[in-house]
Structure 1
Amino acid sequence: MRTLAERAGVSSATISLALRGHPRISAATRRRILRLAEQLGYRPDPSIAKLMLHLRTRRPPGFQSLLAALTTVPEAEEQPYLRELRRSAQARAEALGYGLTVLRVAADAARRPDLERMLRARGVDGILLLPMAAPREFRPLLDWRKFSVVSATNAVLAPQFHRVVPHQFSNALLLCEELTRRGYRRLGLVMNSRHDLTVGHGPSAAVVWQNMLGGTERVMPLIFDPAGAGDLREWFERERPDAIIAEGADNAQDIARQLGLRVPGPVGFVTTNRSGPSVFAGIEERPDEIGAAAIRLLTSLIQHGEKGIPKVPTVTMVAGAWVEGRSVRAPSRAAPRKAATA
């Protein structure tokens, strides 16, 4: 490192920070030092690197820079999933020495030069895109080239940033597996088309696969326009599902009310996003893990000077967990649970 410092004409501390991708060192200086290190055949000593990491993490990190989290969801309309994701992201950001401020923007996603000026004036280096009120494009909102960006939602249709989201397809397959363990054979999905788009069609694709190839009987999902009225009763009488898969507890409760069904009752109910205490069984999407993973990725982009829309966006999918509830019957002892598939 001393040799690198002499060749680069900088201090040893600058070399150390540059090799660790610290945001205090400019991207141009980091690239120059990394090229020089490669030319000289520099390789870090893993034992010393491990010791220095231990010493650094024993000290509470100081404030490094500010992150902004954007959403179109008003605070009064936040669901438990968004609140937990936001709380987890805040905690992880603070643990890494970053501040995190939540900004709520209009749902029209129009150009906001005032927002961009404010972000720049506050020294915001990275933006976390939280779940939105509705799926839409956000390309005109900001000059994205000025920020490192990670999306924690599929609702940002464009631009395509690196994402950390629930594994919707795998989660829905797990729902189907748990229902079949309990003896349900006609699995019916009820979901509005806007939410189906937001979650990347994962639940609808998984349920169709299950009913076509997974061993249960064929039931046509009810994917309805949220602006219109889906003919729920006609669908129920035609398809005769013995279990209904809904978005959340409120949606499941509303479906049961419209059909005059008791919960618990002969028809089972599960939800694709179960949050907090509930009579409904379903999938807990682990928003705490998603928020923490999104911040880890965002700070990594900042430290490596990666800004703007990536050429090859990556998607990190977090598997959910089944949570029991009284809305379904107990599993049959004759049907052991299979290993979950991704």
Structure 2
Amino acid sequence: MPNRNPTTREIAAACGCNQSTVSHALRGHSKIPSETRKRIRAAAEKLGWRPNPLAAAYMAHLRTTRTPAFQASLGFLNTHPESGHINNLPLYMGRHYRGAQERARELGYALEPIWLHEPHLTARRLASILRNRNITGLIVAGILRPSEILERLDWKHYAAVALGFSFTRPQLHRVAVHTSHGFHLMLTKAVEFGYRRIAVVVSRSYDNRVDHGVLYPTWFLQKHLPRTHRILTHIFPEPTEDAVPGIQAWIAQNRPEIILGEEIVWQSLRRMKWRVPQDVAFINNDWSPEYPKTAGFNQHHELHGSVAVDMVVAALMQNERGLPAVPRLTLIEGEFADGLAAPPKTEIPTISQPVNLL
């Protein structure tokens, strides 16, 4: 094997193409067809070419210190079953999109949303759209309803990353929050704040979607807390209006001191006219900066989108496309966000007005 990397001139001579094409191909640029990139890279490796980590580091430095030129578009596959408009996405999905859009812009890419439930959209039609827009990098939003389109898409043409745990067919690289750490953190905070009668009230669909990251830490702490403390659980099927009466009846019967729950649980409390935190404290499982008075688990959704873009762009640069042989799961740690809705128990008497989270 040669002691030095061959020059682009030498590689170009071996491949029968020009130096510019070689340079773009070795950097995984989407302007060079996939088969051409593979052929040039194979020829380069045969001549002893290896990526230069110092050059890669220098180019990364340049990309972060100057405004990048437009390179290509990435696709954001919107899985919302009812609306294709980005502004109508669930709050966490909208934050995923904004984080991905900002990071894509920093790297010189555009991010194009594509609604998977567009009438008459098929896998063949989706492939045609992606081909016409020269999109080979995809970010798949969390699945709210299964899509046969994604199962039938020919993934060998794309570098793709899914957001969350819910997308399982086919298996892609994924970025998700460390939910089990999050619920362990919230429960631990409730104990630290002096609450002894603690409730976890979530939907079964949510626990399933996060790979049982709710109930596993809950059951673990139930076994290891002192007998003076109790963790109660109420699991309802779906976070819909149909669940509200059952949630309200369970809360009224069990009267917890603090509840860890979803948004539908908070709405149920409001309709019961219970004061927060005077009658019951509340920790939101998915804290949002749009409601800073709440307490809860900040999942850093914008970071999920940003990391997904980094992973897709890295795969494109390394000419890695298709379904991974061993999918990677990147977990993002969240953090506890303090808020008036769940203060230390000793501070509740000093709070004269219930918290208005609207």
Q: Same fold (TM over 0.5)?
A: yes
Q: Write out aligned runs for 1:157-176 (5 A).
A: 157-176=168-187
Task: Classify 1:242/1:264 alpha carbon distance in 2 versus 1 (closer, same or farther; 3 Å).
Answer: closer
Q: Write out aligned runs for 1:276-291 (5 A).
A: 276-291=290-305
Q: Among all aligned residue pairs of Structure 1 and Structure 2, give the percentage whose two residues are the same amino acid.
A: 29
For 2:119 and 2:224, the matched residues in 1 are separated by: 41
How far is the alpha carbon of 1:69 from its aligned partner? Answer: 0.8
Gaps of 5+ in 2: 1-5, 348-358
Range 319-328 or range 32-41, more displaced: 32-41
1:33-53 deviation digits (Å, cap 9, x = unpaired)? 545555555456655554454
Task: Classify 1:45/1:104 alpha carbon distance in 2 versus 1 (closer, same or farther; 3 Å).
Answer: closer
How far is the alpha carbon of 1:318 from its aligned partner? Answer: 0.7
Gaps of 5+ in 1: 334-342
Task: Classify 1:331/1:141 alpha carbon distance in 2 versus 1 (closer, same or farther; 3 Å).
Answer: farther
How far is the alpha carbon of 1:238 from its aligned partner? Answer: 5.8
1:69-119 deviation digits (Å, cap 9, x = unpaired)? 112322354233222221121111122122211122329998443333222
For 1:155 and 1:110, the matched residues in 2 are separated by: 22
Indicate conservation of the 8 Å contact 1:169/1:202, yes or no: yes
The correspondence for 1:203, drawn from 214, 221, 225, is 214
1:108-139 deviation digits (Å, cap 9, x = unpaired)? 9984433332222222112211234x253544
Corresponding position of 1:257: 270
For 2:15 and 2:200, the matched residues in 1 are separated by: 62
Task: Classify 1:30/1:122 alpha carbon distance in 2 versus 1 (closer, same or farther; 3 Å).
Answer: closer
For 1:103 and 1:315, the matched residues in 2 are separated by: 24
Corresponding position of 1:338: none
For the residue of structure 2 that corresponds to 1:159, the secondary structure is: coil
Indicate conservation of the 8 Å contact 2:30/2:136, yes or no: no
1:320 aligned onto 2:331: no
Q: Which amino acid aligns with 1:236?
A: I
Corresponding position of 2:352: none
Corresponding position of 1:336: none
For 2:56 and 2:123, the matched residues in 1 are separated by: 43
Q: Which amino acid aligns with 2:313?
A: T
Corresponding position of 1:303: 317
Task: Classify 1:124/1:55 alpha carbon distance in 2 versus 1 (closer, same or farther; 3 Å).
Answer: closer
For 1:47 and 1:148, the matched residues in 2 are separated by: 25
Indicate conservation of the 8 Å contact 2:68/2:106, yes or no: yes
Using the size of structure 1 for normalisation, the TM-score is: 0.82
Corresponding position of 2:259: 244
1:264-323 deviation digits (Å, cap 9, x = unpaired)? 224221011011124320011111111110011111222233333322111111111211
Indicate conservation of the 8 Å contact 1:109/1:137, yes or no: no
The correspondence for 1:232, drawn from 247, 250, 255, is 247
The correspondence for 1:23, drawn from 22, 30, 41, is 30
Indicate conservation of the 8 Å contact 1:148/1:306, yes or no: yes
1:65 aligned onto 2:72: yes
Indicate conservation of the 8 Å contact 1:137/1:158, yes or no: no
Q: Which amino acid aligns with 2:297?
A: I
Indicate conservation of the 8 Å contact 1:187/1:243, yes or no: yes
Corresponding position of 1:136: 146
Q: Which amino acid aligns with 1:285?
A: Q
Range 44-53 or range 279-288, more displaced: 44-53
For the residue of structure 2 that corresponds to 1:202, the secondary structure is: coil
Indicate conservation of the 8 Å contact 2:247/2:265, yes or no: no
For 2:151 and 2:18, the matched residues in 1 are separated by: 42
How far is the alpha carbon of 1:20 from its aligned partner? Answer: 3.1
The size of the alignment, in residue pairs, is 330
How far is the alpha carbon of 1:150 from its aligned partner? Answer: 1.1
For the residue of structure 2 that corresponds to 1:329, the secondary structure is: coil
1:105 aligned onto 2:120: no
1:228-280 deviation digits (Å, cap 9, x = unpaired)? 547335533665532111123xx242232355421122422101101112432
Task: Classify 1:44/1:98 alpha carbon distance in 2 versus 1 (closer, same or farther; 3 Å).
Answer: closer
For the residue of structure 2 that corresponds to 1:93, the secondary structure is: helix
Task: Classify 1:94/1:238 alpha carbon distance in 2 versus 1 (closer, same or farther; 3 Å).
Answer: same
